[in-house]
Amino acid sequence: MSTPDLPETHYTRSGDLNIAYQVMGDGPIDLIFVPGMITHLEFMHELPGYTDFLRRLAAFARVITFDKSGQGLSDRYLGMPSFEQRVDDLRAVMEAVGSRRAVLLGCSEGGPISMVFAATFPERVSQLVLFGSFARFSSAPGYSFRPSGDEIVGRVDGVWTAGWGTGVTVRHFLPSHADDPDVARQYAKLERLAFSPGALKIAARYNIEIDVRTILPAIRVPTLVLHRQADVMSIENGKFLASQIPGAKFLAYADCSDHLIFPGDRPRLCGDIEEFVTGHREATAPDFDRVLATVLFADIVDSTRRAAEMGDHAWRRMLDEHDEAAQRIVVQHRGNLVKTTGDGILATFDGPGRAIRCALAFEAATRRLGLPVRAGLHTGEIELRDGDIGGIAVHAAARVMAQAGPDEVLVSRVVTDLVAGAGLRFSDRGAHELKGLPGRWDLFAASA
């Protein structure tokens, strides 16, 4: 990666210490990446996948990264900064970038820091995402998922300190690249830049004291716990967090055994984070122009008469509310709002179940506005045309909609066959001839 492509490093004060941070992207959401123990704000970009990972997150958020006090480019400390100091580092970075509220992505050691911050300042945290993290760094009665403090100190004081700076931890934290000599050399340099051997020993002793178990029930922000099944930080640590944080969602990955977040199946992991944070995944342009999709058409019943009755100004205001509801509800159901049609909408979905639920939710929302709509859905192959769509499936969905009554969602038999077992109900509306389409089509009214 060339230097001009790298985000610029800035500093802010956290107490008496200077904290290094970077900002990537300018999305409407702030996402703060709270790193683990071995980091260096600038050199991390030399490791394969790290910058691509941040760029993927920056597709929907302003991503803020930083080195905690005592690490990387941030000020060193006499001894090791306290846990409270490291929590303050997060607050200081938020103040520096003008972030009033942010998503926290806490990885490994950065997880407990993020948890304490979220419990203490819930008004500053919109969502909490934890990856490869833990509630306690060493084992204790009732928490057997980690080695004992003596075991950790023995490993760090022995093998790790003796080999520090040679890549001694690469098979623990980045095993998917451990056999690549170029990456192994880069990782060895990262060790040297993150800590000196003596500073590593001090950091390990401080981390042994990390224990946030008692604060987990006090976390009241939406939480997503992510963990790799074969992580050196055993998956039981992630399961414990998800079981103790109220309402937390847990996802496990089998893509690789890396403890660092950026290797492995980035599209899936970043997509899961984006969906949790925004309610949808990034709509990326496909490499082909024909795809299978469920097409939704909906329009307002008797729109011309209603417009005449209401007058232009009131009707325009009502249509704006209609369009806002359409955008919000389609996004919530991971759909693509292709266009609005003046008094209706056209949308596509990669899952027929989500399409039906979107249509039902949209119908309920517009009914509350006093605008009865009718909707039709069909699943088939569509053509992608510079932001628009075409094909027989699009025409079929429009013809299905034309058979629907006010406040009714009609679907073709193809759709019902694809959502068997999804908990949706259908009422037979008989066979119909659809204008311009061959044969007779079995139609069904959908309900939740």
Q: What's the whole-number mean pLDDT along residues 319-343? A: 90
Do 304 and 334 reside in the same domain of the chain?
Answer: yes
* Reported pTM: 0.63
Do 168 and 207 reside in the same domain of the chain?
Answer: yes
Do 114 and 255 reside in the same domain of the chain?
Answer: yes
For every residue of 347-414, DSSP letters joined together read EEES-HHHHHHHHHHHHHHHHHTT--EEEEEEEEEEEEETTEEESHHHHHHHHHHHT--TTEEEEEHH
Residue 241 lies in a domain: yes
- Tens of pLDDT, residue by residue over 43-96, are 999 998 999 999 999 999 999 999 998 889 999 876 666 778 888 999 999 999
Do 152 and 263 reside in the same domain of the chain?
Answer: yes
Structural domain containing residue 197 = 3-278
Last residue of a domain, one of 243, 278, 313: 278
Across 239-253, 408-422, 427-441, the highest mean pLDDT is recorded for 239-253
* CA end-to-end span of the chain: 50
- Tens of pLDDT, residue by residue over 378-415, are 998 888 876 788 888 899 999 999 999 999 999 999 89
Type of residue at 173: F
Query: How would you class 158 by CB atoms within 10 Å of its CB: exposed for 0-12, middle for 13-18, buried for 19 or more?
Result: exposed
Q: Which residue has the higher pLDDT, 79 or 176?
A: 176
Last residue of a domain, one of 256, 278, 300: 278
Q: How confident is the model at residue 283 (pLDDT cuts 50, 70, 90)?
A: very low
Do 248 and 273 reside in the same domain of the chain?
Answer: yes
Q: In CATH, what number is assigned to the domain containing residue 243? A: 3.40.50.1820
Do 229 and 367 reside in the same domain of the chain?
Answer: no
- Report angle CA 160, 165, 166 to the nearest 5 degrees: 85
Examine the pLDDT at 5 and tell me if it is beyond 60.
no
Q: Which residue has the higher pLDDT, 331 or 286?
A: 331
Do 358 and 252 reside in the same domain of the chain?
Answer: no
Residue 285 lies in a domain: no
Cβ atoms of 57 and 103 within 8 Å: the answer is no
- Confidence (pLDDT) at 421: 66
